[in-house]
C-alpha cells in the first residue's frame, strides 16, 4: 500500500501544482476508480490515504466532476469519511444530495450539523434516508418547510419524538395529504391520532378508516364516534353574546370597528366577536349569523360576508372559524372563493334582507348569480 500511496500523492502533487483543470479532473477519476475497484479489500489506514488524496482534489475540480464523485461514493460502506463530509457541505445540492440521502458513513452528528445550517434542499435530501432518529427528525421538523414535513411523514424508517408527532399533527391541519400520511403511521401515539382526526376533513377521516390495519381500525372508529358526538354538542350548545355585543358596540362607537378588527377576531379564534361584528355589519341579529356559522355549507356565510363588503382574505379567515367545523382544505377554499367572487353585492344584500324578514331557521336557500 505504501507504493500505491506514494504514487497517488505524487500524481496529486503534479496535478495541483502544474496540472490543468482537465488534468486534475482526470486525476480525480483515476483515484476514484482505483478506490472503487478495491474498496472491499482496503483496511482503515489505506482508506485514510485515499481520503487525504480525495479531500485535496475535490477542492480544485469542477462541480461536474464532484457530482459524479458523490453519486459513485454515496452507497459505499467504507467511503473516505472526510471526503464524504466535505461533499455534504458543498454549495451545490447536486453534489451534496446523493451523499446526504444514501451515505452510510454519516452519523447523526454529521446530519444534524447539516440540518441546522443548510437550506431546505439539504433538509429534504436528509429526509429521504432509509433510517432517521428522533433527534434528527426533531431538527428537520424545527427547520423544515412543507416538503420536508411531507417527506418525513411518508418515510417509514423515520422515528419521531412525541413533540415531533405533535408538530406533524399541527401542520396537518388544513393539509389533507399530510394528514393522511401522518394518520397512516402505526407509531403515532393514540392521543395524537385522536387530535389529528378531530381536525381532519370528513374525506380524510373516511380514508384513514378505510386504510387502517385491523389492529388500529377499532381505535380510529372509537375516536371518530367521540368526535362526532362532540361536534354535535358543540354546534348545538347555547351561546351568550352579551359580552361580545358590548365590546363590539363600544368599538363601533369609537370608530374602531373596521374590517381589520374583524379579521383580527377571526385570526384569534374569537368566534363570539366574529358573530357580533358580522351581525352589526349586516344589520341582522346574532342569531341569524350564528346559524350561518353552524351550517355545514359555507354558502350562507359567504352571502353575509359579501353583503358586508368584506374582502376575500377576511372572508377566508371567517370561514375557517365556523362553529364545529374543520379548517377548509385548499380545494374547498378555492371553491368558496369562486362562489364569493361570483355573487354580486346587490344579490347578497337582497338575500340577506329576505333572511332577516323570514328569520330563517333552516338551510340557507341558494343565492342566484348575477
**Strand ranges (DSSP E) for the chain?**
none
| Contacts for 325 with CB less than 8 Å, ≥ 6 apart | 296
DSSP bridge partners of 132: 158
User: What are 261-296's pLDDT values in tens digits?
Assistant: 999 998 887 889 999 999 999 988 898 898 888 776
Which of left, alpha, beta for 61 (phi over 0: left; psi -120 to 50: alpha)? beta
Residue numbers in the chain where pLDDT is lower than 70: 1-19, 227-237, 296, 324-330, 358-370
Residue 231's CB is within 10 A of a number of other CB atoms, namely: 15
Q: What residues does each domain of the chain span? A: 1-98, 242-358
List the Cα angle 176/182/187 in 5-degree steps.
165
DSSP bridge partners of 158: 132
Q: pLDDT at position 364, please?
A: 43
How big is the chain, counted in residues? 370
Q: Whole-model pTM?
A: 0.61
In the numeric block, the cell 389533507 is attached to 176
Do 274 and 265 form a contact (C-beta atoms < 8 A)? yes
User: What are 148-173's pLDDT values in tens digits?
Assistant: 999 999 999 999 999 999 999 999 98
365 burial level (CB within 10 Å; 0-12, 13-18, 19+): middle
Q: pLDDT at position 299, please?
A: 87
Q: How far apart, in whole angstroms, are the C-alpha atoms of residue 14 and residue 37?
A: 23
Q: pLDDT at position 174, please?
A: 82
Amino acid at each position: 500500500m505504501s507504493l500505491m500511496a506514494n504514487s497517488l500523492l505524487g500524481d496529486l502533487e503534479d496535478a495541483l501544482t502544474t496540472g490543468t483543470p482537465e488534468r486534475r479532473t482526470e486525476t480525480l477519476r483515476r483515484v476514484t476508480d482505483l478506490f472503487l475497484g478495491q474498496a472491499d479489500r482496503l483496511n482503515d489506514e489505506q482508506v485514510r490515504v485515499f481520503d487525504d488524496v480525495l479531500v485535496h482534489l475535490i477542492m480544485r475540480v469542477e462541480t461536474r466532476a464532484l457530482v459524479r464523485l458523490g453519486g459513485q461514493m454515496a452507497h459505499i460502506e467504507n467511503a473516505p469519511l472526510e471526503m464524504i463530509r466535505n461533499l455534504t457541505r458543498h454549495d451545490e445540492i447536486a453534489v451534496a444530495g446523493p451523499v446526504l440521502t444514501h451515505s452510510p458513513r454519516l452519523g447523526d452528528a454529521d446530519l444534524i450539523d447539516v440540518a441546522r445550517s443548510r437550506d431546505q434542499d439539504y433538509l429534504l435530501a436528509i429526509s429521504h434516508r432509509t433510517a432517521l432518529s428522533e433527534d434528527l427528525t426533531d431538527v428537520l421538523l424545527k427547520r423544515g418547510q412543507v416538503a420536508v414535513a411531507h417527506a418525513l411523514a411518508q418515510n417509514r424508517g423515520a422515528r419521531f419524538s412525541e413533540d415531533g408527532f405533535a408538530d406533524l399533527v399541527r401542520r396537518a391541519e388544513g393539509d389533507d395529504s399530510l394528514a393522511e400520511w401522518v394518520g397512516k403511521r402505526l407509531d403515532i401515539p393514540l392521543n395524537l391520532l385522536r387530535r389529528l382526526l378531530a381536525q381532519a376533513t370528513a374525506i380524510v377521516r373516511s380514508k384513514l378508516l378505510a386504510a387502517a390495519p385491523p389492529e388500529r381500525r377499532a381505535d380510529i372508529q372509537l375516536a371518530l364516534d367521540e368526535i362526532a358526538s362532540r361536534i354535535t354538542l358543540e354546534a348545538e350548545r347555547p351561546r351568550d353574546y352579551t359580552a361580545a355585543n358590548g365590546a363590539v358596540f363600544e368599538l363601533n362607537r369609537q370608530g374602531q370597528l373596521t374590517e381589520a378588527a374583524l379579521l383580527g377576531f377571526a385570526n384569534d379564534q374569537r368566534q363570539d366577536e366574529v358573530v357580533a361584528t358580522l351581525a352589526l355589519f349586516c344589520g341582522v341579529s346574532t342569531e341569524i349569523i350564528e346559524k350561518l356559522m353552524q351550517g355545514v355549507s359555507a354558502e350562507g356565510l359567504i352571502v353575509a360576508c359579501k353583503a358586508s363588503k368584506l374582502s376575500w382574505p377576511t372572508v377566508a379567515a371567517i370561514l375557517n372559524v365556523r362553529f364545529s367545523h374543520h379548517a377548509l382544505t385548499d380545494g374547498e377554499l378555492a371553491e368558496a372563493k369562486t362562489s364569493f367572487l361570483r355573487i354580486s353585492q346587490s344579490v347578497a344584500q337582497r338575500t340577506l334582507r329576505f333572511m332577516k324578514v323570514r328569520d330563517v331557521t333552516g338551510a340557507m336557500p341558494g343565492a342566484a348569480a348575477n
